[in-house]
Amino acid sequence: MEKIAVFPGSFDPITRGHESIVHRGLSLFDRIIVALGENPDKKGYFPIDQRIKWLEEVFQNEKRVQIKVYHGLTVNFCNEVNASYILRGLRTAADFEFERGIGQMNKVIAPSVETVFILSYPEYSAISSSIVRDIHRHGGDISAFIPTSLKIS
């Protein structure tokens, strides 16, 4: 059976940390769906269409990666797309605590879906979309934190 993983997130914007987790995940899964969760209560910083365009650009040469937008529960989306795995990245102990709660509760509501964690490379563990947004908002240079193929002005 094809091993399909969903990599959910806001990707506001995609960073080198996200990119690396997807590439490393491809050694575990046949296909990865990078899934941008649209939350009606959170507008986000960059427009969704723009975030999707960047994701498509970054993974354009990777046939085993697809980009999708979803609404609602991640586990419901996994069922819709026949994914048995949720892929998440771990940077810090704080990430672990946050992910543990979500992962364990998801296991109760959707026992057939496994959450799989990949530890961030040390050089990416300080990178977060929220700090990238702050730097961008104040006119700083974010190029060291976003995928090398992207130009965000």
State the catalytic residues.
18, 42, 91, 129
* Residue 68 phi, psi dihedral angles, 5° rounding: -145, 155
Single out the residue of 32, 75, 83, 127 in contact with ligand ADP (rule: CB under 6 A): 127
Q: What is the distance between the alpha carbons of residues 3 and 82, in angstroms, rounded to a whole number?
A: 9
* Tokens 């899964």 belong to residue: 29
Single out the residue of 25, 31, 35, 88 in contact with ligand ADP (rule: CB under 6 A): 88
Provide the minimum distance between the beta carbon of 69 and ligand ADP in the complex, in angstroms, as a whole number: 13
Q: What is the distance between the alpha carbons of residues 141 and 10, in angstroms, rounded to a whole number?
A: 21
Query: Which one, 31 or 88, has the nearer CB to ligand ADP?
Result: 88
- Rounded (10°) CA dihedral 103, 74, 39, 9: 70
Stretch that binds ligand ADP, among 5-13, 47-55, 60-68, 107-115 (CB under 6 A): 5-13
Number of residues forming the site for ligand ADP (CB under 6 A):
16
Q: What is the distance between the alpha carbons of residues 151 and 123, in angstroms, rounded to a whole number?
A: 21
**Rule CB under 6 A: which residues touch ligand ADP?**
9-11, 15, 17-18, 21, 88-89, 91, 95, 120, 124, 127-129
